[in-house]
Amino acid sequence: MAQFHCDVCHCVLEAGRDIRYVVRLEVFPALDPVEESDAVDDRDYLMEVDDSLSALAPFDLNEPDDDLYQELQFTLCPECRQRLAKNPLGAAIPRTFEFSEN
């Protein structure tokens, strides 16, 4: 029988017996739209494309760049999935203090 491991707590999850969850995470830069001016545009677009391609020449285009796009996948057990659902970004949860009313 196939086995999986939780990527957080590393417990063993038996295929067909234990419930497991798959989490997919996609990270990419947010590109804001460029504001176009009302002026007549006399730009040479072909020259701009050529300049952009020339700037990329030293880079290996077949090698993924984690700064541009990253896709990750994790396997979680039910307990770790529940913790992730409560605090998906892992932010520190502020402590709350309860004071008596005197």
Q: pLDDT tens digits for 24-70?
A: 999 988 877 766 665 556 788 888 888 877 776 665 656 666 678 89
Who has greater pLDDT, 87 or 34? 87
DSSP 15-78: TTTS--EEEEEEE----PPPPPPSS-----HHHHHHHHHHHHTTS-TTS--TTT-EEEEEEE-H
Q: Judging by beta carbons within 10 Å of its beta carbon (0-12, 13-18, 19+), is residue 6 exposed, middle or buried?
A: buried
- Position 99 scores a pLDDT of 74
Q: What is the pTM of this model?
A: 0.59
What average pLDDT does the segment 66-91 reach? 91
Assess whether pLDDT exceeds 90 at residue 3.
yes
